[in-house]
Structure 1
Amino acid sequence: MKLVFSAMKDEGPDVLEWVCYQRAVGFDEVLVYTNDCTDGSDDLLDALQAAGLVHHRRHSVLGQDLAPQDAAARLMIDDPVYRRATWALWADADEFLLPLTVPDVPALVTALEDRAADAMALPWRNFGSSGHVDVPEGLVIENFSKSSAELTRMERTFKCLFRTSNQIEQLFAHRPIWFAGAKVRMVAQDLSPLPDEAAGRIKENGRPDELLPREIKKRPRVAQINHYPVKSLRQFLLKRTRRSGLGNKGRFADGYLNRFDINEAERTEIHRFAPAVRAMMTEALAGPAVREAHSAAVRLRDERVARTDPAQISREG
């Protein structure tokens, strides 16, 4: 079973598209942990769970020292849905795995199994605001189609599609932490082997290293993670009113836009999944519970973004 899982807070009506995309691209199950939502996205996930599209777990991090993602990770590793998965990916609410030279997730997993791989480093392709100040109607994957012309230093960052096993000690938002001494065969975005030590690299802060070596970053891509960290400028302003998943209170300061809001080149490869996503969303919204929860999330998001002021954005820093 191929699983995508996530930790979320206050992702609003975009939750519906994200869940439907994961199904359309070929994941068998979707597992989402939410913490302390204030925008109705947890109610929307409850409705989607009742419709059979997602497994939703509520928990709280109020009063805890742990970052929200770390708190969720401790719960996820023992979750029965995760435990029955054979392959898994942690994808945040602004991340969409995009197969490029293979049709879907099952085909990508087959390619990995053919190479006896245990994990694949899937690098980011970051997408900017694409000129949107206000929230556009329609799909995220269609509205935000502009990125940098060349790969930036931020696109050394990868997420990990991995084979679940008892060799995994902890989960982490970018990749698992394997037990010391575990034999892990990890491949790059072109399915070529990464050095043996790649799976065990740790950063100075004790978290696992999620950067591709510089000489590997520009290799061809069999698949990637489409990353939409900005969306419209009003959505960005709303996003930075909340604590990041890693607990970094200042993470979404104005300098963030210098790194991520780059709109030089049009990239539409992901659009091939849009019809399936749209059809699945339409089917889900035919259910009264999903429709009502989604509409409520839209209303609350619109009320909140209306109070933001894009004129205050500075790109310094």
Structure 2
Amino acid sequence: MRITAVTCVKNEGPFLLEWIAFQRVIGVTDFLFYSNDCTDATDRLLDRLADHGILTHLPNPATNRNYQMQALKDAKTQQVVKQADWVWVADVDEFLNIHVGDHTIPALIAACGNPQAISVTFQFFANNGVEAFEDAPVIRQFQHSHNPDIWCDQTAIEVKSLVRADFPLAYYGAHRPFHDEDKHGAPLWTDGSGRPVPPRFRKRANKRRIRAFPARDARAHATLNHYALRSLDSYLVKNDRGDVNREHRAFDDSYWRERNDNGYHDPSILRYAAPLEAEMAALKALPGIADLHDEAVALHRAKRDDLLAQDSYQQMRDQLRAASPFPPMEDALRKELEIT
């Protein structure tokens, strides 16, 4: 089975090897990376990995700031995607935690009944008080999240999707594939428990349903662990970088607080820790890879130091350190109920 992961990156150098190694452990066979405007050795590390046949690396084709969507449009034309049995569109801070069989993507597909698409629900993992960036696997460092069924005040939580080659695809979206149901009928499409996705989600009944559906009981076979914050150091660098959809997007106090709920301990992804670290070691053993990884780590720390030389970033760090442990919506409810 050929499984191609498609992702867009900018200044993710210290985290690339862990993500690539993890995807290989769960069964991804091919990679298509798009990068833009990298200053932390991300692009050079990807080029070197491409030299070793590990992945395909292309410059992001975007002609405006909509980097991800233009890249996904281009991905549909690339041979590494066209030859795939399944396509997995995800970001470098997202890890597919599979709970069934041998914990690989083929096991997940089998458990879901081999549908044409599988949309797996996010679980946002908190910073949990980790301030300093450490060159160590993210999945080991961050093990606490929100209640899996409720994120902030939402019971419908975002997903990312695996897409089979025969899905009646119009285009890939960042969260789900899009199709014309009037022309092709309803595809076989499940959640992470093998249940049909809600019709309102499948049909894009409204904007809110485009990329989310109720999370309750949706993760029996798989969870999508999303490490959007990581360490405080890395969050500051992320804020400077922006994201793949909007250049210079501000990851403010609200973004942090919404994703920093650490009330639930979920270490289940550590089942992958040993094979992950073995695969990372194998990648680092390839000529030139360890040196470029170490350079990316050093540049990440240097960027943090440069940012913290600015008053605005010192203020941001202090603001986040002092931020309420509750999401804004929960804080508002607590005040309404006069809970102290």
Same-fold call, TM cutoff 0.5: yes
TM (normalized to structure 1)? 0.90
Give the match for residue 46 of structure 1: 47
> What amino acid is the match of 1:304?
K
**Alpha carbons 2:111, 2:221 under 8 Å: kept:** no
Supply the distance in 2 between the matched residues of 1:59 and 1:210 (Cα, whole angstroms): 23
**Secondary structure at 1:82's aligned position in 2?**
helix
Q: Structure 1 residues 204 and 264, CA, compared in 2 at 3 Å: closer, same or farther?
A: closer
Aligned match for 2:192, one of 186, 189, 192: 189
| Matching of residue 146 in structure 1 with residue 144 in structure 2 | yes
The alpha-carbon deviation at position 259 of structure 1 amounts to 0.6
Supply the distance in 2 between the matched residues of 1:284 and 1:274 (Cα, whole angstroms): 15
**Alpha carbons 2:93, 2:228 under 8 Å: kept:** yes
**Secondary structure at 1:158's aligned position in 2?**
strand
Supply the distance in 2 between the matched residues of 1:301 and 1:71 (Cα, whole angstroms): 27
Give the match for residue 127 of structure 1: 125
**Alpha carbons 2:145, 2:262 under 8 Å: kept:** yes
- Give the alignment of 1:1-317 within 5 angstroms: 1-59=2-60, 61=62, 64-102=63-101, 103-112=103-112, 115-153=113-151, 156-165=157-166, 167-181=168-182, 182=184, 183-201=186-204, 203-204=206-207, 209-212=210-213, 214=214, 217-247=216-246, 249-307=248-306, 308=308, 309=314, 310-313=317-320, 315=323
The alpha-carbon deviation at position 21 of structure 1 amounts to 0.5
The alpha-carbon deviation at position 136 of structure 1 amounts to 2.3
Q: Structure 1 residues 259 and 230, CA, compared in 2 at 3 Å: closer, same or farther?
A: same
**Alpha carbons 2:116, 2:188 under 8 Å: kept:** yes
The alpha-carbon deviation at position 34 of structure 1 amounts to 1.0
Supply the distance in 1 between the matched residues of 2:157 and 2:164 (Cα, whole angstroms): 22
Q: Structure 1 residues 287 and 51, CA, compared in 2 at 3 Å: closer, same or farther?
A: same
**Alpha carbons 2:201, 2:212 under 8 Å: kept:** no
The alpha-carbon deviation at position 158 of structure 1 amounts to 0.7
Supply the distance in 2 between the matched residues of 1:251 and 1:175 (Cα, whole angstroms): 25
Percent identical residues: 26
Supply the distance in 1 between the matched residues of 2:58 and 2:291 (Cα, whole angstroms): 20
Supply the distance in 2 between the matched residues of 1:248 and 1:34 (Cα, whole angstroms): 13
Supply the distance in 2 between the matched residues of 1:287 and 1:188 (Cα, whole angstroms): 37
Q: Provide structure 2 residue ranges, at least 5 long, that are not aligned to the other structure.
A: 309-313, 329-340
Deviations 1:229-262 (A, max 9, x none): 0000111111011232221744511110111011
Count of matched residue positions in the alignment of Structure 1 and Structure 2:
309
> What amino acid is the match of 1:201?
R
The Cα RMSD (Å) is 2.2
Supply the distance in 2 between the matched residues of 1:60 and 1:192 (Cα, whole angstroms): 36
Supply the distance in 1 between the matched residues of 2:11 and 2:80 (Cα, whole angstroms): 23
Which structure would you say has the larger Rg? 2
TM (normalized to structure 2)? 0.84
The alpha-carbon deviation at position 266 of structure 1 amounts to 2.2
The alpha-carbon deviation at position 55 of structure 1 amounts to 1.7
Supply the distance in 2 between the matched residues of 1:150 and 1:5 (Cα, whole angstroms): 26
Bigger fraction of residues in helix: 2
Q: Structure 1 residues 101 and 291, CA, compared in 2 at 3 Å: closer, same or farther?
A: same
Q: Structure 1 residues 179 and 156, CA, compared in 2 at 3 Å: closer, same or farther?
A: same
